[in-house]
């Protein structure tokens, strides 16, 4: 039971901040009239997180963290990646944002969700550096419980984000809430970028 609870609390702590991936899923829920049309983004994000978490628990974290140059490279790329994504979130007006998300086909949703997950150094470092190293204290069934808990939280959270976006999209006719949320998310993403830049000093 302890590994399960540990995994749930840890995964929620890592996934709650409004990062690039979370904002995209929320916006997809907002943009599509039919929730089913946002599922490609949700499922892709869930699959990518499953791959990252399993890889981290399987031992990839030990390999990455053992090479200082590789860790610094991830921080370097992460700084510019997050700074750029934060800028895109901040400058997006509600009208532009709605137009961009509305035209996302299933293929574009899959491509963007995959890149926001697998090409996001901050997400990779969170998974490898935190979940991967935290799993080292467990073995056997306990490690599987910890892993399943982390993966389960990701899937539940991603579906919840899209559903919440759908609800807000129906209530927010002017788009003011969506605009404020994206600006808040931009500030959070910039904070993450500064943290990653600080790690290089």
Q: What are the C-alpha distances in Å from 151 to residues 114, 122, 123, 157, 200?
A: 16, 18, 14, 10, 30
Residue 60: partners with Cβ closer than 8 Å, 6 or more residues away: 128, 132
| The pLDDT of residue 53 | 92
Round to whole Å and give the CA distance between 60 and 139: 16
pLDDT (tens digit, 9 = 90+) per residue, 54-111?
A: 988 887 766 766 777 877 887 787 788 778 877 877 776 554 455 444 557 889 899 9
- pLDDT for 70 equals 77
Count structural domains, the chain: 1
Tens digits of residue pLDDT in 125-157: 778 777 887 887 788 899 899 999 999 999 999
Which residues contact residue 82 at a Cβ distance below 8 angstroms, ignoring those fewer than 6 apart? 20, 120, 122, 189, 190, 192, 193, 196
Q: Specify the pTM.
A: 0.77
Q: What is the domain extent for residue 27? A: 2-198
């Amino acid at each position: 039971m302890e590994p399960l609870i540990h995994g749930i609390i840890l995964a929620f702590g890592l996934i709650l901040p409004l990062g690039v991936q979370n904002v995209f899923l929320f916006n997809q829920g907002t943009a599509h009239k039919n929730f089913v049309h946002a599922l490609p983004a949700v499922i892709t994000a869930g699959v990518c997180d499953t791959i990252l978490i399993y890889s981290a628990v399987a031992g990839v974290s030990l390999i990455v963290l053992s090479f200082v140059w590789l860790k610094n490279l991830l921080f370097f790329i992460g700084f510019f990646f997050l700074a750029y994504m934060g800028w895109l979130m901040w400058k997006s007006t509600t009208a532009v944002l709605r137009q961009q998300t509305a035209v996302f086909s299933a293929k574009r949703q899959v491509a963007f969700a995959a890149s926001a997950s697998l090409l996001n150094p901050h997400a990779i470092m969170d998974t490898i550096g935190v979940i991967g190293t935290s799993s080292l204290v467990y073995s056997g069934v306990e490690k599987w419980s910890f892993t399943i808990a982390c993966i389960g939280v990701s899937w539940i959270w991603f579906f919840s984000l899209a559903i919440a976006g759908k609800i807000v999209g129906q209530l927010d006719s002017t788009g003011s809430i969506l605009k404020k949320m994206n600006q808040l998310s931009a500030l959070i993403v910039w904070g993450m970028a500064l943290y990653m830049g600080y790690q290089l000093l």
